[in-house]
Amino acid sequence: MSARSITLSWSTQEVQTFLGIVSEERVQKELSGMVRNKKVFQHVSERMAAEGFQRTFEWCRIKSKKLWSDYRKVKDHNSRSGVHRKNWMWFDMMDAIYGHRPGSLGREGGINTATSLLESMMESAGIAFLISLPRNPYAHRTACL
């Protein structure tokens, strides 16, 4: 039977362990931009087994897609004004992993993404900064005529 034809729920501890593994920098780098990610999920499956949870790479891939889909739904819903916010058990962990990515910023979050990402990176590094732009971007140039 294929992994998609069986519905087997994951325990809270299993999902926490899974998200902990998936959130690791090495795993995120390998998943970023990869179309074929079987090897990455094989690694995740092996790490899950080392923690006492037996999940195939297929199950890990399916769980990842399901969590991402649920995260996007909640994020999009909560970004709309005038709606009651949805709560989801895994939202904070997923947002910590994927919230900085342009594809996960919700309907209104695409504006000034690079600046927001830079600011959050600088803040997490404990670096204070101030960005100031001149009114006239050509004010520093002198006439060449």
Note the pLDDT of residue 44.
97
- Where helices occur in 10-129 by DSSP H, the ranges are 12-22, 25-31, 38-50, 57-79, 91-98, 113-124
Q: Is 115 left (phi over 0), alpha (psi -120 to 50) or beta?
A: alpha
d(CA 56, CA 10): 13
Torsion sign, CA atoms 115, 119, 122, 127: positive
pLDDT per residue as tens digits for the range 30-77: 888 767 889 999 999 999 999 999 999 999 999 999 999 999 999 999
| Res 116: pLDDT | 47
For residue 58, is it within any domain?
yes
Report the C-alpha gap between 120 and 106 in whole angstroms.
17
At residue 126, what is the residue type? G
Indicate whether 42 belongs to any domain.
yes
For 28, other C-beta atoms within 10 Å of its C-beta total 14
Whole-prediction pTM: 0.63
Question: Per the structure block, which two tokens stand in for 136?
Answer: 């006239």
Residue 83, pLDDT score = 77
Query: What mean pLDDT comes out for the span 73-91?
Result: 89
Q: Does residue 88 register a pLDDT over 90?
A: yes
**Residue 6 binned pLDDT confidence (cut-offs 50, 70, 90):** low
| Overall domain count for the chain | 1
Q: Is residue 125 part of a domain?
A: no
Assigned token pair, 106:
């919700």
Q: Does residue 63 fall inside a structural domain? A: yes
**Domain coverage including residue 99:** 3-111
Considering the domain boundaries, does residue 78 fall inside one? yes
Domain contains 141: no
Spatial CA neighbour of 115 closest among 106, 123, 104, 107: 123
Mean of all residue pLDDT scores within the chain? 76
DSSP 132: -
- pLDDT tens, 9-38? 999 999 999 999 999 999 998 888 767 889
In-domain check, residue 102: yes
In a domain, 118, yes or no: no
